Amino acid sequence: MKARILVVDDELSMREFLAILLDGEGYLVDQAESAEDALACMDQQRYEMVISDVSMPGLSGIELLSRIKAQSPETAVLLITAFTTAEQAVEAMKLGAYDYIGKPFKVEEVKVLVRKALEKRSLEEENKRLKAEVQERFSFSGLIGKSKQMREVYDLIAKVAESMANVLITGESGTGKELAAKAIHYNSPRRNAPFEAVNCGAIPDTLIESELFGHSRGAFTGAISDRPGLFEQAEGGTLFLDEIGEVPLQLQAKLLRVLQEREFRRVGGSSSIKADVRIVAASNRNLEEQVREGSFREDLFYRLNVVQLHMPSLKERVEDIPALVEHFYKKYSIWSGSGEIITPEALKALFNYPFPGNVRELENLVERCVVLGSRVIDFECLPTGVREHRTAPAVAAEFEIPEEGMDLQAYLDALEQRLLIRALEKCGGVKKRAAAFLGMTFRSFRYRLAKFGMDEE
């Protein structure tokens, strides 16, 4: 987008000269004949840069600079004056002016100063945006959901993040174990140090030791130079060992030594290297069962399992599906707005589908619908397996009729009312979602709410 610049000068000829010059450089230019007018303009419009004369009736350019920096610190300010003094220049720079030039000035000098000021501002804005994105992406907002299960996850992350304790994250594939690990890291005192991740199951047994600990030159064929491993790269930060259950027994002993002694040696190395690294491990396997089978060391398991964090499967928190769909839709779609994202029929199908691939499968599904050009995720854009899946209705446990008999209609009404309330709770009070959750039309849902005096709209 073109940068918008405000030119402030009580002399019409100077304002118009600068406006023509800047317009010729491709900028959007507004003019103000006083500092008071400039402040009024800034109340109505956002400016990337202000170019102002210093000596003007009313508020001076220096006073305007001070007001601008209080109101809009990111706006670059260039001051121009016919009476340059060292004191004024120092004061202007202290107040946050990008630069200070005297009249008469060279046209090329103004062009260069404006370009550099806007480039500097752009870089600062980009840095802020990236930092905010990192914080948002890897704070709790990277984990989506308000279900009871996810609230428990957030609470445990908040408690464990501040400590140095090793964490073992369990859960099925696709439940967001790495996101949880990043949330722990980016909410910890180590947030400004590296976060390194490795999938232990994706690296051949012959290479994983070198990947973790590095190697020295000549340690094996092809080791032509020293190479640091992930423990060194994660120094001061966090190392995430995904699928830790895949690590071979021989290497498990070396991992245990690092956790106990806080030091290691590179492959082929002769000296020990200190390891200031927090370990977060994850597995979709049952490590306790592996311990019993002898394929995972018991002492390593207890070293890793200081705090255990379980990531629930998607079928355990189906009430989070609408929020996840919205999140992934916004991530992949070029369309924006507050309209319908998914039809009730499609949402009902997602509620009924077991999602063996968990959140990852749901994300892929939403991306697929967006790639196929769907502005609204409807039933037809869903994969065949989701559309054709049928879930048998849940059957209540065996129920005995009291000896004295019962009022069947009253019992069914009470049960129906409880189910309506529970559906609304699971869907955050959104009636359309609750209707889809119960497999009925919105109209039918509203009718049933009204029957019990629960429809207040």
CATH number for 112: 3.40.50.2300
Question: pLDDT at residue 160 above 60?
Answer: yes
pLDDT of 13 reads: 92
Q: What is the pLDDT of residues 250-305, one digit of tens each?
A: 899 999 999 999 998 888 887 888 989 999 999 999 999 999 999 999 999 999 99
- The answer on 165 and 302 residing in a single domain is yes
Among candidate residues 100, 133, 166, the one where a domain is terminated: 133
- The answer on 174 and 70 residing in a single domain is no
Among candidate residues 99, 133, 167, the one where a domain is terminated: 133
- The answer on 148 and 106 residing in a single domain is no
Element (H, E) at 437: helix 431-437
Report the amino acid identity of residue 221: T
Contacts of 134 (CB under 8 A, 6+ apart): 186
Pairwise CA distance, residues 440 & 456, whole Å: 19
- The answer on 165 and 41 residing in a single domain is no
Report if residue 329 sits inside a domain.
Answer: no
Give the distance, in angstroms, between the CA of residue 10 and the centroid of all CA atoms in the same chain: 47
In sequence order, what are the beta bridge partners of 78? 51, 99
If pLDDT is split at 50, 70 and 90, which confidence band does 185 have?
very high
What's the CA dihedral at 156, 162, 166, 171 to 10 degrees? 30
The answer, as to whether pTM is greater than 0.75, is no
- Number of folded domains that form the chain: 2
Report if residue 80 sits inside a domain.
Answer: yes
If pLDDT is split at 50, 70 and 90, which confidence band does 1 have?
low
Report if residue 100 sits inside a domain.
Answer: yes
- The answer on 265 and 216 residing in a single domain is yes
Query: Which of 439, 423, 444 shows the shortest CA–CA distance to 390?
Result: 439
- The answer on 304 and 163 residing in a single domain is yes
339: DSSP letter = S
Alpha helix positions (H), 294-334: 298-304, 321-332
The per-residue DSSP string of 95-123 comes to TT-SEEEESS--HHHHHHHHHHHHHHHHH
- The answer on 181 and 285 residing in a single domain is yes
Q: Residue 348: what are its φ and ψ, rounded to 5°?
A: -60, -40
Report if residue 244 sits inside a domain.
Answer: yes
pLDDT of 325 reads: 93
Among candidate residues 263, 289, 312, the one where a domain is terminated: 312
Choose the weakest-confidence range: 16-20, 36-40, 45-49, 128-132. Answer: 128-132
Question: pLDDT at residue 410 above 80?
Answer: no
Give the distance, in angstroms, between the CA of residue 183 and the centroid of all CA atoms in the same chain: 9
Report if residue 423 sits inside a domain.
Answer: no
Contact 258, 270 (CB under 8 A): no
Contact 103, 18 (CB under 8 A): no
What's the CA dihedral at 20, 24, 25, 31 to 10 degrees? 30
The neighbour count for residue 112, using CB atoms within 10 Å, is 11
Report the amino acid identity of residue 37: D
pLDDT of 253 reads: 92
- The answer on 150 and 68 residing in a single domain is no
- The answer on 98 and 196 residing in a single domain is no
- The answer on 99 and 188 residing in a single domain is no
Contact 152, 311 (CB under 8 A): no
- The answer on 271 and 195 residing in a single domain is yes
The stretch 97-109 carries a mean pLDDT of 86
Q: What is the pLDDT of residues 300-310, one digit of tens each?
A: 999 999 999 99
- Residue count (the chain): 457
- The answer on 164 and 290 residing in a single domain is yes
pLDDT of 141 reads: 57
Report if residue 168 sits inside a domain.
Answer: yes
HEC string of 225-241? CCEECHHHHCCCCEEEE
Report if residue 365 sits inside a domain.
Answer: no
Report if residue 446 sits inside a domain.
Answer: no
If pLDDT is split at 50, 70 and 90, which confidence band does 73 have?
confident
46: DSSP letter = -
- For the chain, the average pLDDT equals 86
Domain that holds residue 282: 142-312
Q: Domain of 275: which CATH number?
A: 3.40.50.300
